[in-house]
Amino acid sequence: MDKKELNEARTNPEFLDYLEDTRIKSMAEKNISAMYETLDSMLVLDLDEDKINKLYEEILKTSFENVETIVNGNKKLTLEGDDLLYVRAFYEHAIEKWSYDNFDGAKELVFVLANIIEDTILEEALNVLIIVLSQKKELDAFYDAQVDFENESEEEKYGYFIINFNFDKKLYINEHSELLAKEYANLKHLLDS
């Protein structure tokens, strides 16, 4: 969308009413797909921050409830359908914590996610993040120095996640295998609850 289209959408009362109705209905129905679609539109249009925050809180609440149900059923999350959006919510919450230098909170979420997903590429990337978080590297510094922006995945499902780095992931994990094993041992209690 260009500036003119954004301004038209931002000032179109019918569209804004539709967006607000969808926001309210999606939260009431706990429809993760509709909630994220609405959230993304509201963010692009830079709409009411309080409504955005309330919607994001509902996304997190819905995601955590559904993930708990899935995991309690001894299943893992895939990167398909609603599962992808639950994984996205967990991941975004971890990144948010990291952005506030809450390394332990972010590391706990990333660890849980690494253990409840069924996707080798994302799991490997999450293990890299566990190592980085255990070293208390600030998000911006890590992002600027070690994320590979040139190498984007062709698979849309990875678009929400940092999976490409300026180093070989397998080698990095291997070089830090003792640290990763220690973190897994320290955090395994999170999977028992």
Q: How many domains does the chain have?
A: 2
Secondary structure of residue 110 in the 3-state scheme: helix
- Which residues touch 2 (CB under 8 Å, ≥6 apart)? none
Give the integer Cα–Cα distance in Å for 109 and 89.
Answer: 11
> Band of the pLDDT at 62, cuts 50, 70, 90?
very high
Co-location of 89 and 184 in the same domain: yes
Neighbours of 168 (CB within 10 A): 10
Co-location of 46 and 92 in the same domain: no
Co-location of 118 and 159 in the same domain: yes
Q: In the listed set 30, 62, 94, which residue is the last one of a domain according to the structure? A: 62
Average pLDDT of the residues of the chain:
93
Give the integer Cα–Cα distance in Å for 130 and 178.
Answer: 12
Q: In this structure, are residues 49 and 122 in contact, taking their beta carbons and an 8 Å threshold?
A: no
Co-location of 88 and 183 in the same domain: yes
What φ, ψ does residue 147 adopt, rounded to 5°?
Answer: -95, 135
- Per residue in 112-171, pLDDT tens? 999 999 999 999 999 999 999 999 999 999 999 999 988 877 788 999 999 999 999 999
- Per residue in 26-59, pLDDT tens? 999 999 999 999 999 999 898 999 999 999 999 9
- Give a yes or no: residue 71 inside a domain: no
Co-location of 186 and 124 in the same domain: yes
Helices (H), 117-176: 120-134, 139-146, 169-175
The yes-or-no verdict on residue 4 having pLDDT over 90 is no
Co-location of 52 and 96 in the same domain: no
Give the integer Cα–Cα distance in Å for 110 and 82.
Answer: 19
Co-location of 130 and 44 in the same domain: no
Co-location of 40 and 96 in the same domain: no
Closest by CA position to 102, among listed 139, 143, 59, 128: 139
Q: In this structure, are residues 72 and 48 in contact, taking their beta carbons and an 8 Å threshold?
A: no
Co-location of 29 and 105 in the same domain: no
Whole-Å CA distances, 170 to 120, 134, 164, 165? 12, 18, 12, 11
Whole-Å CA distances, 100 to 95, 97, 138? 9, 5, 9
The yes-or-no verdict on residue 73 having pLDDT over 90 is no
Co-location of 10 and 80 in the same domain: no
Q: In this structure, are residues 106 and 98 in contact, taking their beta carbons and an 8 Å threshold?
A: yes
Co-location of 110 and 191 in the same domain: yes
Co-location of 83 and 177 in the same domain: yes
Show the domain range for 89: 76-193
